[in-house]
Amino acid sequence: MSLLQAIVLGLVQGLTEFLPISSTAHLRIVPELFGWPDPGAAYSAVIQLGTVAAVLIYFRHDIVTLLRAFFQGLVRRQPFATTESRLAWFVLIGTLPIGICGLAFKKTIEGSLRSLYVISGSLIVLALILFVVERMASHKRTLDDMRWRDGLIVGLWQALALIPGSSRSGTTITGALSLGLRREDAARYSFLLSIPATSLAGIFELKHLLEATERPSTMALVTGTLVAFASGWAAIAWLLSYLRKRSTLIFIVYRVVLGVVLLVLLNQGFLRPMSGVENVDTSNKPLKVPVERQGTD
Protein backbone atom coordinates (compact mmCIF):
# COMPACT_ATOMS: atom_id res chain seq x y z
CA MET A 1 0.00 0.00 0.00
CA SER A 2 1.45 3.34 -1.06
CA LEU A 3 1.35 6.48 1.07
CA LEU A 4 -1.15 8.02 -1.38
CA GLN A 5 -3.47 5.02 -0.99
CA ALA A 6 -3.23 5.27 2.80
CA ILE A 7 -4.12 8.97 2.72
CA VAL A 8 -7.07 8.47 0.37
CA LEU A 9 -8.44 5.51 2.33
CA GLY A 10 -7.98 7.34 5.64
CA LEU A 11 -9.85 10.34 4.24
CA VAL A 12 -12.65 8.12 2.98
CA GLN A 13 -12.87 6.31 6.32
CA GLY A 14 -13.05 9.50 8.36
CA LEU A 15 -15.60 11.27 6.17
CA THR A 16 -17.93 8.29 5.78
CA GLU A 17 -17.70 6.60 9.21
CA PHE A 18 -20.11 9.00 10.90
CA LEU A 19 -22.26 9.94 7.93
CA PRO A 20 -25.06 7.42 7.24
CA ILE A 21 -23.55 6.36 3.91
CA SER A 22 -21.33 3.41 4.97
CA SER A 23 -17.56 3.65 5.37
CA THR A 24 -17.17 -0.06 4.53
CA ALA A 25 -18.94 0.46 1.21
CA HIS A 26 -16.68 3.34 0.25
CA LEU A 27 -13.53 1.52 1.37
CA ARG A 28 -14.53 -1.26 -1.05
CA ILE A 29 -15.68 1.00 -3.87
CA VAL A 30 -12.80 3.52 -3.97
CA PRO A 31 -9.99 0.92 -4.33
CA GLU A 32 -12.03 -0.88 -6.99
CA LEU A 33 -12.47 2.31 -9.01
CA PHE A 34 -8.75 3.13 -8.84
CA GLY A 35 -7.71 -0.44 -9.53
CA TRP A 36 -6.18 -0.88 -6.09
CA PRO A 37 -6.45 -4.12 -4.12
CA ASP A 38 -9.11 -4.23 -1.42
CA PRO A 39 -7.42 -3.09 1.83
CA GLY A 40 -9.40 -5.76 3.65
CA ALA A 41 -11.69 -5.77 6.65
CA ALA A 42 -8.75 -5.85 9.07
CA TYR A 43 -7.12 -2.69 7.69
CA SER A 44 -10.51 -0.96 7.61
CA ALA A 45 -11.14 -1.86 11.26
CA VAL A 46 -7.70 -0.67 12.38
CA ILE A 47 -7.92 2.78 10.79
CA GLN A 48 -11.32 3.07 12.45
CA LEU A 49 -9.30 3.67 15.61
CA GLY A 50 -8.59 7.13 14.18
CA THR A 51 -12.29 7.90 14.02
CA VAL A 52 -12.73 6.43 17.50
CA ALA A 53 -10.10 8.88 18.76
CA ALA A 54 -12.02 11.70 17.08
CA VAL A 55 -15.21 10.70 18.94
CA LEU A 56 -13.37 10.36 22.25
CA ILE A 57 -11.86 13.82 22.03
CA TYR A 58 -14.89 15.55 20.52
CA PHE A 59 -17.25 14.14 23.18
CA ARG A 60 -14.68 14.05 25.99
CA HIS A 61 -16.88 16.08 28.37
CA ASP A 62 -19.90 13.85 27.71
CA ILE A 63 -17.81 10.72 28.19
CA VAL A 64 -16.32 11.92 31.49
CA THR A 65 -19.81 12.78 32.71
CA LEU A 66 -21.20 9.36 31.74
CA LEU A 67 -18.30 7.47 33.33
CA ARG A 68 -18.54 9.49 36.55
CA ALA A 69 -22.30 8.87 36.74
CA PHE A 70 -21.82 5.17 35.97
CA PHE A 71 -19.34 4.54 38.78
CA GLN A 72 -21.11 6.82 41.24
CA GLY A 73 -24.29 4.86 40.62
CA LEU A 74 -22.48 1.59 41.36
CA VAL A 75 -20.92 2.95 44.55
CA ARG A 76 -24.24 4.34 45.78
CA ARG A 77 -26.07 1.18 44.71
CA GLN A 78 -28.35 3.30 42.54
CA PRO A 79 -26.95 2.51 39.08
CA PHE A 80 -29.95 3.93 37.18
CA ALA A 81 -30.75 6.97 39.28
CA THR A 82 -29.69 9.63 36.77
CA THR A 83 -30.04 10.18 33.05
CA GLU A 84 -26.26 10.04 32.61
CA SER A 85 -25.87 6.73 34.45
CA ARG A 86 -28.73 5.19 32.46
CA LEU A 87 -27.22 6.42 29.19
CA ALA A 88 -23.91 4.77 30.08
CA TRP A 89 -25.72 1.49 30.66
CA PHE A 90 -27.62 1.90 27.39
CA VAL A 91 -24.32 2.20 25.52
CA LEU A 92 -23.08 -1.02 27.13
CA ILE A 93 -26.30 -2.89 26.38
CA GLY A 94 -26.42 -1.54 22.84
CA THR A 95 -22.94 -2.91 22.17
CA LEU A 96 -23.79 -6.52 23.03
CA PRO A 97 -25.72 -7.45 19.84
CA ILE A 98 -23.01 -6.28 17.42
CA GLY A 99 -20.30 -7.91 19.53
CA ILE A 100 -22.04 -11.29 19.59
CA CYS A 101 -23.03 -11.22 15.91
CA GLY A 102 -19.62 -9.94 14.85
CA LEU A 103 -17.86 -12.90 16.45
CA ALA A 104 -20.44 -15.40 15.22
CA PHE A 105 -20.38 -14.29 11.56
CA LYS A 106 -16.82 -12.95 11.28
CA LYS A 107 -15.75 -15.13 8.33
CA THR A 108 -18.85 -14.37 6.29
CA ILE A 109 -18.61 -10.64 7.00
CA GLU A 110 -14.98 -10.51 5.86
CA GLY A 111 -15.60 -12.75 2.86
CA SER A 112 -18.70 -13.13 0.70
CA LEU A 113 -20.62 -10.23 2.27
CA ARG A 114 -17.99 -7.81 0.94
CA SER A 115 -19.35 -8.37 -2.55
CA LEU A 116 -20.26 -5.13 -4.31
CA TYR A 117 -23.67 -6.64 -5.08
CA VAL A 118 -24.34 -6.99 -1.34
CA ILE A 119 -23.05 -3.48 -0.72
CA SER A 120 -25.18 -1.89 -3.44
CA GLY A 121 -28.28 -3.71 -2.18
CA SER A 122 -27.61 -2.61 1.40
CA LEU A 123 -27.12 1.00 0.33
CA ILE A 124 -30.50 1.08 -1.40
CA VAL A 125 -32.52 -0.95 1.11
CA LEU A 126 -31.43 1.03 4.17
CA ALA A 127 -32.00 4.29 2.29
CA LEU A 128 -35.62 3.27 1.68
CA ILE A 129 -36.06 2.24 5.33
CA LEU A 130 -34.56 5.54 6.52
CA PHE A 131 -36.91 7.43 4.17
CA VAL A 132 -39.96 5.70 5.68
CA VAL A 133 -38.70 6.28 9.24
CA GLU A 134 -38.06 9.97 8.53
CA ARG A 135 -41.61 10.40 7.28
CA MET A 136 -43.24 8.57 10.20
CA ALA A 137 -41.02 9.57 13.16
CA SER A 138 -42.13 12.22 15.65
CA HIS A 139 -38.62 13.73 16.19
CA LYS A 140 -39.62 14.93 19.67
CA ARG A 141 -37.86 12.70 22.21
CA THR A 142 -34.44 13.49 23.67
CA LEU A 143 -31.73 11.35 25.27
CA ASP A 144 -33.33 12.11 28.64
CA ASP A 145 -36.42 10.21 27.51
CA MET A 146 -34.56 7.00 26.56
CA ARG A 147 -35.39 3.77 28.38
CA TRP A 148 -33.88 0.25 28.54
CA ARG A 149 -35.99 -0.95 25.65
CA ASP A 150 -34.71 1.92 23.49
CA GLY A 151 -31.08 1.13 24.23
CA LEU A 152 -31.53 -2.52 23.27
CA ILE A 153 -33.49 -1.72 20.10
CA VAL A 154 -30.85 0.70 18.82
CA GLY A 155 -28.23 -1.92 19.68
CA LEU A 156 -30.04 -4.45 17.50
CA TRP A 157 -30.13 -1.90 14.68
CA GLN A 158 -26.39 -1.43 15.12
CA ALA A 159 -25.84 -5.16 14.61
CA LEU A 160 -27.32 -4.80 11.11
CA ALA A 161 -24.29 -2.66 10.25
CA LEU A 162 -22.24 -5.86 10.07
CA ILE A 163 -23.73 -6.21 6.58
CA PRO A 164 -21.35 -4.12 4.43
CA GLY A 165 -23.08 -1.14 2.89
CA SER A 166 -25.61 -0.76 5.71
CA SER A 167 -23.55 1.83 7.65
CA ARG A 168 -23.20 1.67 11.42
CA SER A 169 -24.19 5.30 11.81
CA GLY A 170 -26.97 4.79 9.27
CA THR A 171 -28.54 1.85 11.10
CA THR A 172 -28.23 3.40 14.58
CA ILE A 173 -29.56 6.78 13.49
CA THR A 174 -32.45 5.04 11.72
CA GLY A 175 -33.17 2.98 14.84
CA ALA A 176 -33.06 6.02 17.11
CA LEU A 177 -35.31 8.03 14.78
CA SER A 178 -37.80 5.16 14.67
CA LEU A 179 -38.11 5.56 18.45
CA GLY A 180 -39.01 9.23 18.05
CA LEU A 181 -35.67 10.81 18.98
CA ARG A 182 -34.75 14.18 17.55
CA ARG A 183 -32.24 13.98 14.69
CA GLU A 184 -29.44 15.66 16.63
CA ASP A 185 -29.98 13.39 19.66
CA ALA A 186 -30.09 10.33 17.40
CA ALA A 187 -26.74 11.32 15.89
CA ARG A 188 -25.19 12.08 19.28
CA TYR A 189 -26.25 8.70 20.68
CA SER A 190 -24.97 7.02 17.52
CA PHE A 191 -21.56 8.59 18.07
CA LEU A 192 -21.42 7.50 21.73
CA LEU A 193 -22.57 3.99 20.82
CA SER A 194 -19.80 3.74 18.22
CA ILE A 195 -17.00 4.01 20.79
CA PRO A 196 -16.99 0.51 22.34
CA ALA A 197 -17.97 -1.32 19.12
CA THR A 198 -15.39 0.27 16.83
CA SER A 199 -12.68 0.30 19.52
CA LEU A 200 -13.03 -3.43 20.19
CA ALA A 201 -13.21 -4.22 16.46
CA GLY A 202 -10.08 -2.21 15.74
CA ILE A 203 -8.09 -3.78 18.59
CA PHE A 204 -9.28 -7.28 17.69
CA GLU A 205 -8.37 -6.88 14.02
CA LEU A 206 -5.04 -5.22 14.84
CA LYS A 207 -3.90 -8.46 16.45
CA HIS A 208 -4.75 -10.45 13.32
CA LEU A 209 -3.23 -7.82 11.05
CA LEU A 210 0.08 -7.95 12.93
CA GLU A 211 0.12 -11.74 12.70
CA ALA A 212 -0.47 -11.73 8.93
CA THR A 213 2.45 -12.56 6.64
CA GLU A 214 1.46 -9.81 4.19
CA ARG A 215 0.16 -6.53 5.58
CA PRO A 216 0.34 -2.78 4.99
CA SER A 217 3.44 -1.03 6.30
CA THR A 218 3.41 0.65 9.69
CA MET A 219 3.66 4.00 7.89
CA ALA A 220 0.52 3.20 5.87
CA LEU A 221 -1.41 2.20 9.00
CA VAL A 222 -0.31 5.29 10.97
CA THR A 223 -0.97 7.65 8.06
CA GLY A 224 -4.40 6.21 7.35
CA THR A 225 -5.34 6.37 11.03
CA LEU A 226 -4.22 10.01 11.45
CA VAL A 227 -6.05 11.13 8.31
CA ALA A 228 -9.15 9.23 9.48
CA PHE A 229 -8.93 11.08 12.82
CA ALA A 230 -8.81 14.54 11.23
CA SER A 231 -11.52 13.91 8.64
CA GLY A 232 -13.66 12.07 11.23
CA TRP A 233 -13.55 15.08 13.55
CA ALA A 234 -14.72 17.33 10.72
CA ALA A 235 -17.53 14.90 9.82
CA ILE A 236 -18.83 14.80 13.42
CA ALA A 237 -18.95 18.58 13.75
CA TRP A 238 -20.62 19.00 10.36
CA LEU A 239 -23.25 16.30 10.85
CA LEU A 240 -24.38 17.56 14.28
CA SER A 241 -24.71 21.07 12.90
CA TYR A 242 -26.51 19.84 9.77
CA LEU A 243 -29.09 17.69 11.58
CA ARG A 244 -30.11 20.53 13.90
CA LYS A 245 -31.97 22.13 11.01
CA ARG A 246 -32.27 19.55 8.24
CA SER A 247 -33.44 15.98 7.64
CA THR A 248 -31.42 13.01 6.40
CA LEU A 249 -32.92 13.27 2.89
CA ILE A 250 -29.58 14.18 1.29
CA PHE A 251 -28.06 10.93 2.56
CA ILE A 252 -31.06 8.91 1.42
CA VAL A 253 -30.75 10.24 -2.13
CA TYR A 254 -26.96 9.74 -2.12
CA ARG A 255 -27.28 6.11 -1.01
CA VAL A 256 -29.87 5.27 -3.65
CA VAL A 257 -27.91 6.96 -6.45
CA LEU A 258 -24.66 5.30 -5.40
CA GLY A 259 -26.32 1.89 -5.11
CA VAL A 260 -27.93 2.17 -8.55
CA VAL A 261 -24.69 3.38 -10.17
CA LEU A 262 -22.84 0.44 -8.62
CA LEU A 263 -25.37 -2.04 -9.99
CA VAL A 264 -25.09 -0.51 -13.46
CA LEU A 265 -21.27 -0.62 -13.40
CA LEU A 266 -21.35 -4.21 -12.17
CA ASN A 267 -23.83 -5.33 -14.82
CA GLN A 268 -21.82 -3.59 -17.55
CA GLY A 269 -18.64 -5.31 -16.39
CA PHE A 270 -16.79 -2.12 -15.39
CA LEU A 271 -16.53 -3.42 -11.82
CA ARG A 272 -16.12 -6.94 -10.49
CA PRO A 273 -18.08 -7.80 -7.33
CA MET A 274 -15.25 -9.58 -5.50
CA SER A 275 -12.15 -8.25 -7.26
CA GLY A 276 -9.20 -7.98 -4.88
CA VAL A 277 -11.21 -9.02 -1.81
CA GLU A 278 -9.41 -10.98 0.88
CA ASN A 279 -9.46 -14.71 0.20
CA VAL A 280 -11.37 -15.90 3.23
CA ASP A 281 -12.50 -19.51 3.42
CA THR A 282 -15.91 -19.69 5.04
CA SER A 283 -16.69 -23.35 4.44
CA ASN A 284 -14.84 -24.84 7.44
CA LYS A 285 -13.35 -27.27 4.95
CA PRO A 286 -9.61 -27.67 4.48
CA LEU A 287 -8.30 -25.80 1.44
CA LYS A 288 -6.85 -28.01 -1.25
CA VAL A 289 -3.50 -26.61 -2.29
CA PRO A 290 -1.82 -28.15 -5.34
CA VAL A 291 1.67 -29.43 -4.54
CA GLU A 292 4.35 -30.12 -7.11
CA ARG A 293 4.98 -33.82 -7.21
CA GLN A 294 8.53 -34.96 -6.63
CA GLY A 295 9.89 -38.38 -7.40
CA THR A 296 7.65 -41.38 -8.19
CA ASP A 297 4.59 -42.86 -6.56
Per-residue CA distances from 8 to 28, 36, 214, 223, 231 (Å): 12, 11, 21, 10, 11
Instruction: Answer whether residue 238 shows pLDDT above 80.
Output: yes
- Dihedral, CA atoms, 215, 218, 220, 224, nearest 10 degrees? 110
Residue 213 pLDDT: 60
> What confidence score (pLDDT) does residue 155 get?
95
Above 80 in pLDDT, residue 212? no
Cα dihedral 86→60→228→113 (10° resolution): -10
Backbone torsion region of residue 53, taken as left when φ is above 0, otherwise alpha when ψ lies between -120 and 50, otherwise beta: alpha
pLDDT value of position 275: 57
pLDDT confidence of 249, banded at 50, 70, 90? very high
Q: How far apart are the first and last CA of the chain?
A: 44
Q: Are 6 and 147 in contact (CB under 8 A)?
A: no
Best-predicted range by mean pLDDT (42-51, 210-219, 261-270): 261-270
The model's pLDDT over 6-51, given as tens digits with 9 standing for 90+, comes to 999 999 999 998 899 988 788 888 888 888 887 776 777 778 888 8
How many Å apart are CA 78 and CA 110, to the nearest integer? 41
**249 or 287, which is more confident:** 249
Count of Cβ atoms closer than 10 Å to residue 154 Cβ: 29
SS3 content of the chain, % helix, strand, coil (to 5): 75, 0, 25
53, 203 contact by CB (below 8 A): no
User: pLDDT category, 124, cuts 50, 70, 90?
Assistant: very high
